[in-house]
Amino acid sequence: MSTMLSRPAIKKFKKPLHISEYPTGPCFEAGHLVTENAGWRIERPVVLPEKCVGCYYCYLCCPEGVIFKSEDESKIEIDYAFCKGCGICARVCKSDAIEMIKEACF
């Protein structure tokens, strides 16, 4: 379980300088999403550690795969560079441990 929830190492995306650096066709080893696309988020999910029981149901339900375990495995974290703020995590959390807070408040 812990390895599944661990975040893969993030490699810095290096923009190709020559056409030969692109793969031939859209097929590539470990081709992660490189475009940060959280700009349209209007509400941000915030995890309340005191309420979180570590059931990881939010991790299972997140359609973007942006929920992960912190490195010391003590808490749940969210990658805000890719979270679109859909609120599914907050909706499914049985412990009400995730709050949706307006982006304007940050």
Partner 1 sequence: MPVEKAFVSGNEAVALGVRLARPHVISAYPITPQTTVVERLSEMVEDGSLKAEFMYVESEHSALSACMGASSIGARTFTATSSQGLLYMAECLHYASGGRFPIVMMNANRSLALPWSIYGDQRDSLSLLDCGWIQVYVEDAQESLDMVLQSYAIAENGKVLTPVMQNLDGFALTHTYETVEVPTSEQADAFLPPFETPYKLDLDKPKNMAFSTGPADNMEFKYQQHKAVLDAVKVISEVDESFYIHFGRRYGGMTEAYRCDDAEMVMVTLGSITGTCRAVVDELRVEGWKAGLLKIRFMRPFPEKEIMDLSTHVRAIGVIDKDISFGYEGTIFTNVNSALSKARTGVYALDFIAGLGGRDISRQDIRKMFGHLKDGLQGIELNRVRFINIGVAI
Does position 1 bind partner 1 by CB under 8 A? no
User: Which residue in 10, 17, 29, 104 binds partner 1 (CB under 8 A)?
Assistant: 29
Q: Cα–Cα distance between 62 and 73 in angstroms, integer?
A: 18
42 makes contact with partner 1 (CB under 8 A): no
Nearest of 81, 66, 72 to residue 98 by alpha carbon: 66
Please identify, among the stretches 15-23, 39-47, 51-59, 87-95, the one whose residues bind partner 1 according to the rule CB under 8 A: 15-23
**Cα–Cα distance, 28 to 23 (Å, whole number):** 6
Among 2, 10, 12, 25, binds partner 1 (CB under 8 A): 25
* Complex with partner 1: residue 34 or 48, whichever CB lies closer: 34
- What's the 3-state SS for 57-104? HHHHHCCCCCEEECCCCCCEEECCCCCCCCCHHHHHCCCCCEEEEEHH
> Position of tokens 């969210």?
78
Which of 4, 9, 30, 105 touches partner 1 by CB under 8 A?
Answer: 30
User: What's the min distance (Å) between Cβ of 6 and partner 1?
Assistant: 17
Q: Which residues bind partner 1 (CB under 8 A)?
A: 15-16, 19, 22-32, 35
